[in-house]
Structure 1
Amino acid sequence: MKILVTGATGNVGKFVVKELLHMGEDVVAAGTNKSKLQAMFGNTIDKVILDLTDNQTFSKALENIDRVFLMRPPHLGKPDDLYPFIQAMKDKDIRLVSFLSLMGVEKNPFPPHHKIEKQIEEAGIPYAHVRPGFFMQNISGIHSVEIRDRDEIFIPAGKSKTSFIDTADIGLAAATLLHNPIKFKHTAHTITGKEALNYSQIAAILSEVTGRTITYVSPSLFHYRHYYIKRRGLPKDYVNVTVALYLMTRLGTAKAVTNDFYHLTKKYPRTFKEFAIENINCFR
């Protein structure tokens, strides 16, 4: 049987595919863009079109599948958007679903990840939730625009700390869970980096790595939301979820550091400085 990786061309999914292949697993890469799937994976693995809002794509995607890496597409702000696919997995008797959740979500009912976790559990599907801290790729991706254009980190996190983790490390953790479905059945794992940093410290690291003076601008949640919707043109549902996450970050929910990654993989997670050096072109 095969493992279906949803969001296979994304920041986490591509690393889940990579690590599963290293483990000798038979992988099916799923996404909504056929050309992107082909460009990234060529003819090396099976590929399938899967739209989590279109149940007509479910049957083909789940054919000969016994394990699933499930992630919520960022543009889907409502948890019930994923409920039909969860039901489809239940009907297929999936052995394990590893859902890409969120650090601290078990105590925070506001992000959609909370209800999705509960829906999977209530459906009776064996699960191994992955609850990572904030992605380092958030800095090199969505927030890199202001860093490149204005030498600023424009994030409404106040003075709070965050235990950032590289999505490559998340991919390895998720692959480890899926590779051992019996061992990790009905478990949840909070995956973080090995240190918690505030954004002023992130700015200092980026300044050192780039040779420029990068400063941390801490806008209000309202100013951030207005800027990202009106100036950056990002979808309201997506921005609203990020605002909720940064509100919780201000309350200290993102600063915990765990050893779960080491316990799963017997490796240490990458530091932010190592990540910044490897991805310096994102900040130039």
Structure 2
Amino acid sequence: MKVLVTGASGNVGKYVVRELLQMGEHVVAAGTNIEKLNLLFGGDVEKVILDFQDLKTYQQALHDVDRLFLMRPPHLGKADDLFPFIDAMKQHDIQFVSFLSLMGIERNTIPPHHKIEKYIESVGIPYGHIRPGFFMQNISGIHAAEIKEKKQIFIPAGKSKTSFIDAEDIALSVATILHDPGKYENTAHTITGSESLDYYQIADILTKVTGSKITYAKPGFLRYRNYYLKKRRLNKSYVNVTVALYFMTRLCTAKHITTDFTKLTGKQPCTFEDFSRKHIKCFK
């Protein structure tokens, strides 16, 4: 049977596809842009159109699939945006789903991930939730613009610390449980890096790696939200979700370090310095 990877062109999904292929799995890469999927994967995987807001795309995406990696697209800010697809997963007798959730979500009902986890469990699909800390790719991706243009980290996290995790490490964790679902049925795994850093420390690391002085602006929530809505012109629902996440970060919910990644994979997680050297083009 096949493994469907939703969000296959995204930060985590593309690496999940790669790891599953290396494990010998038959992979179906799903997304809203077939050309982008073709550029990423060529003829190594099947490609299908999947739009969570278009029920007509569900049938083909779920055909002959028995396992699935589920990721909430950033622009869908409401949990129930994914409920129709989860219902379709149940109707198609999906045997196992790995949902990309959030660290600490079992105690945090604000982000949509909490309700999505609960809904998957309520419909009775065997699951293996992956609850990562903040992606290192958030800094090299959405927040890299200010680092490159202003030499600033523009994130409203205050003085809080975060146990950042590389998306490649998250993907390896996801692929591991999808490859052996019987071993991990109805489990949840909190995946973090091996160090907990505040954004002053992140700025120091980026200064060291890039050779340019990088500072942490430490904006307030209102300033951050207005900037990302009015200057960056990002989706309102997406920005509101990030505000909620950084609010929780300030409550010290993102600083904890776990060994779940090593227990799953037998490997050590990537450090932020190693990550920033590997992705230096994102910061210069």
Interval containing the TM-score (normalised by the shorter chain): over 0.9
Q: 1:82 maps to what in 2?
A: 82
Write the mapping of 1:110-189 to structure 2, written as runs, cut at 5 A: 110-189=110-189
Q: TM-score, normalising length from structure 2? A: 0.99
After TM superposition, give the deviation of residue 42 of structure 1 in Å. Answer: 1.2
Paired residue total: 284
After TM superposition, give the deviation of residue 45 of structure 1 in Å. Answer: 1.1
| Secondary structure at the counterpart of residue 255 of structure 1 | coil
After TM superposition, give the deviation of residue 77 of structure 1 in Å. Answer: 0.3
After TM superposition, give the deviation of residue 38 of structure 1 in Å. Answer: 1.0
After TM superposition, give the deviation of residue 93 of structure 1 in Å. Answer: 1.4
Q: 1:206 maps to what in 2?
A: 206
Write the mapping of 1:238-253 to structure 2, written as runs, cut at 5 A: 238-253=238-253
After TM superposition, give the deviation of residue 44 of structure 1 in Å. Answer: 1.6
| Secondary structure at the counterpart of residue 82 of structure 2 | helix
The answer on 1:92 being equivalent to 2:121 is no
The unaligned stretches of length 5 or more in structure 2 are none
The unaligned stretches of length 5 or more in structure 1 are none
- Identity value in percent: 65
Q: Where has structure 1 moved over 3 Å in runs of 4 or more?
A: none
1:51-87 deviations in whole A, cap 9, x for unaligned?
0111111010000000000000000001000000000
Q: 1:35 maps to what in 2?
A: 35
Question: What is the CA RMSD across the aligned residues, in angstroms?
Answer: 0.4
* Cα separation, 2, equivalents of 1:19 and 1:45: 12
* Cα separation, 2, equivalents of 1:149 and 1:172: 32
After TM superposition, give the deviation of residue 134 of structure 1 in Å. Answer: 0.2
Q: 1:105 maps to what in 2?
A: 105
Q: TM-score, normalising length from structure 1? A: 0.99
After TM superposition, give the deviation of residue 34 of structure 1 in Å. Answer: 1.2
* Cα separation, 2, equivalents of 1:153 and 1:243: 15
* Cα separation, 2, equivalents of 1:203 and 1:109: 31
Residue type of the alignment partner of 2:18: K
* Cα separation, 2, equivalents of 1:189 and 1:253: 16
Residue type of the alignment partner of 2:245: L
Q: 2:66 maps to what in 1?
A: 66
Residue type of the alignment partner of 1:190: T
Q: 1:279 maps to what in 2?
A: 279
* Cα separation, 2, equivalents of 1:69 and 1:44: 18
